[in-house]
Amino acid sequence: MQQIIDRFFRYVKIDTQSNPKNEADFPSSEKQWDLANVLVDDLNKIGMQDVTIDKHCYIMATLPSNVTHIVPTIGFISHIDTSPDYTGSNVKPQIHKNYDGKDILLNKEENIILSPDYFEDLLLYKGQTLITTDGTTLLGADDKAGITEIICAMKYLIEHPEIKHGEIRVSFTPDEEVGKGAHKFDVKKFNAEWAYTMDGSQVGELEYENFNAAGAKVTVNGRIVHPGYAKGKLVNSMSIASEFIRALPLNETPETTEGYEGFYHLHGLNGVVEKTEFSYIIRDHDREKFEARKVFFRELVDNFNDKYGANTMEVEIKDQYFNMREKVEPVMHIVDIAEEAMIQLDIKPLIKAIRGGTDGSQLSYMGLPCPNIFAGGHNFHGRFEYVPVESLEKAILVIVKIAEITAEKYSK
């Protein structure tokens, strides 16, 4: 356990926050290289082969097969960057042993408390060892937990050659949190038949469905006139933007939906009288409903232009990723193997749809089917993020067991 904690602490203390405003550079932030270079060194130290890092900060490495029969090459993938939603600078992880199910004081000076009254999932981990933030940063378990698990699993397999496995490829990618994590991933170079992202949350999560996703950028053009002489002349772009926001279904937002329900999510707004810009993400698991949401959004913009004048509102909608289910269902044995691994380890599989996306969704459409497996963290992207150490251990064992089961299945 202590080796896992030490490795995880070392990684989360390195700031790797990606930058959503930098669309030109790859990776979007230079500081992602700081962890990437450490990971290259660590992969070499544990005995991985063919360790490479390319000019876009994609790391790949190989654990050679230790069996004589032909086994499909499989992969495990996690991302280097942390979310731009909350600061990842100067992370100070804290250990809480034998969690008693009560409030956890993260920061005495600022009275920041992690409470099971609000975060009920904490009660799943009574008696376990929790790693939290100090309340002033995110933790970075998304996805440095996944990185830790993959490296620890590879180290374990190298140190235990009695566990039979085929060739395993691993990769650590940049910019997942800003939606670019798979954009420059070299599937041909990775050369695996399928892979798993270690990027889920609660123990047991196994996901091969995710949202179809698009981003919408809207500009409202107003007209500034001295307010004393404004009647019939001034056009307040902020007022029009507010009216537009209220015109979208109020019961179809992230905070009012769950399961397979889609939504429109306003996640950025900046305005003055003359111009207001705001952005939405549009999500739905069902492809037809997803396309209908985009049509509705565009038609609503058209209606506002009819009301306030041509070109009052401008919109740009870009698809971001699609539901991986379409690409994974034809090869469901890869999900079955992960499910069997959990069952053999007495972990209850929680097969459900992701209310979000992972690199695996894009990779699946690039020819690398890639379900998602739990990494153990909770409350990502904020000060209340935490991960039980026992969950890290279980994820490591799942990786090892998947490798073992795959070799067994193809030995017949």
Q: What is the CATH number of the domain that holds 227?
A: 3.30.70.360
Cα separation, 38 vs 190, in Å, equals 20
Residue 52's DSSP bridge partners are 60
Structure-token pair, residue 318: 């870009």
Residues 180 and 119 in one domain: yes
Structure-token pair, residue 369: 């089917």
Residues 146 and 45 in one domain: yes
Residues 282 and 370 in one domain: no
Residues 327 and 228 in one domain: no
Q: How many domains does the chain have?
A: 2
pTM greater than 0.75 (yes/no): yes
**What is the pLDDT, as a whole number, of residue 179?**
83
Among residues 145, 146, 155, which one has the least CA distance to residue 197? 146
Residues 125 and 236 in one domain: no
Helical H segments across 248-388, by residue range: 287-308, 325-328, 333-344, 359-365
Among residues 196, 197, 203, which one has the least CA distance to residue 387? 203
CB 88 within 8 A of CB 141: no
| pLDDT per position as a tens digit, 317-375 | 999 889 999 999 999 999 999 999 999 999 999 999 988 878 899 999 999 999 999 99
CB 35 within 8 A of CB 11: yes
**What is the pLDDT, as a whole number, of residue 412?**
67
| pLDDT per position as a tens digit, 85-101 | 999 999 999 999 999 99
Cα separation, 224 vs 235, in Å, equals 7
Cα separation, 253 vs 388, in Å, equals 30
CB 409 within 8 A of CB 337: yes
Q: Look up the domain containing 32 and give its range.
A: 2-210+323-409
CB 340 within 8 A of CB 321: no
Residues 200 and 132 in one domain: yes
Residues 240 and 203 in one domain: no
Residues 149 and 37 in one domain: yes
| 275, 299, 321 - which closes a domain | 321
Active site residue ranges: 81, 176
CB 200 within 8 A of CB 375: yes
- Main-chain dihedrals φ then ψ at residue 149, nearest 5 degrees: -65, -45
Measured CA angle at 180 (ends 177, 181), to 5 deg? 75
Cα separation, 73 vs 190, in Å, equals 10
Q: What is the layout of strands, in order, in the sheet containing 194-200?
A: 49-53, 59-63, 168-173, 74-79, 194-200, 372-374, 205-209, 350-353
Cα separation, 288 vs 153, in Å, equals 40
Residues 287 and 334 in one domain: no
CB 142 within 8 A of CB 12: no
CB 218 within 8 A of CB 271: no
Structure-token pair, residue 94: 């804290």
140: how many CB neighbours lie within 10 A of its CB?
29
- Residue 210 is which amino acid? N
Residues 304 and 330 in one domain: no
| 299, 321, 343 - which closes a domain | 321
Q: Is 345 left (phi over 0), alpha (psi -120 to 50) or beta?
A: alpha
Among residues 96, 409, 364, which one has the least CA distance to residue 209? 364
Among residues 261, 304, 315, 309, which one has the least CA distance to residue 283? 261
Q: What is the dihedral of CA 354, 355, 356, 360, to 10 degrees?
A: 10
Helical H segments across 126-270, by residue range: 141-159, 187-190, 237-247
- Residue 221 is which amino acid? N
Residues 35 and 79 in one domain: yes
pLDDT (tens place) for every residue of the chain, 412 residues total: 899 999 999 999 999 999 998 988 999 999 999 999 999 999 999 999 999 999 999 999 999 999 999 999 999 999 999 999 999 999 999 999 999 999 999 999 999 999 999 999 999 999 999 999 999 999 999 999 999 999 999 999 999 999 999 999 999 999 999 888 899 999 999 999 999 999 999 999 999 999 999 999 999 999 999 999 999 999 999 999 999 999 999 999 999 999 999 999 999 999 999 999 999 999 999 999 999 999 999 999 999 999 999 999 999 999 988 999 999 999 999 999 999 999 999 999 999 998 887 889 999 999 999 999 999 999 999 999 999 999 999 999 999 999 999 999 998 6
| 293, 321, 349 - which closes a domain | 321
**What is the pLDDT, as a whole number, of residue 212?**
95
Q: What is the layout of strands, in order, in the sheet containing 263-271?
A: 263-271, 275-284, 212-221, 313-321
Residues 308 and 342 in one domain: no
| CATH number of the domain encompassing residue 25 | 3.40.630.10
